[in-house]
Amino acid sequence: MKQFFLVSFLSFYCFTLFSQTNVSGTINTSVTWNLAGSPYVLDGDVIVAENVTLAIVAGVEVQFPSQWRNLMQMEL
């Protein structure tokens, strides 16, 4: 029984530790990216629609594809 609880705890901990949120497409409603969903991995173009707010909480990691690095440096 102790082994079951240990395995369950470790499975939950690893899932939580290595969770990520994949993002692509248009964001049509205001949203906050928080630590629970971090890292946010951009899988494609991400567009924030007009009059929509994307808030990113301090400490949240956003991962860009490597080919975007130069473009993002110019546009941020």
* Alpha helices, DSSP H, located in 1-76: 2-17, 69-75
For residue 12, pLDDT over 80 is answered with no
Q: Give pLDDT, residue 23.
A: 95
**Residue 11 pLDDT > 90, yes or no?**
no
More confident residue, 29 or 9: 29
Report percent pLDDT > 70 for the chain: 63
Burial of 37 (0-12, 13-18, 19+ CB in 10 A): middle
40 Cβ partners below 8 Å, 6+ apart?
A: 20, 21, 23, 33, 60, 61, 62, 63
Average pLDDT over all residues of the chain: 77
Q: What is the pLDDT of residue 54?
A: 94
pLDDT score recorded for residue 3: 58
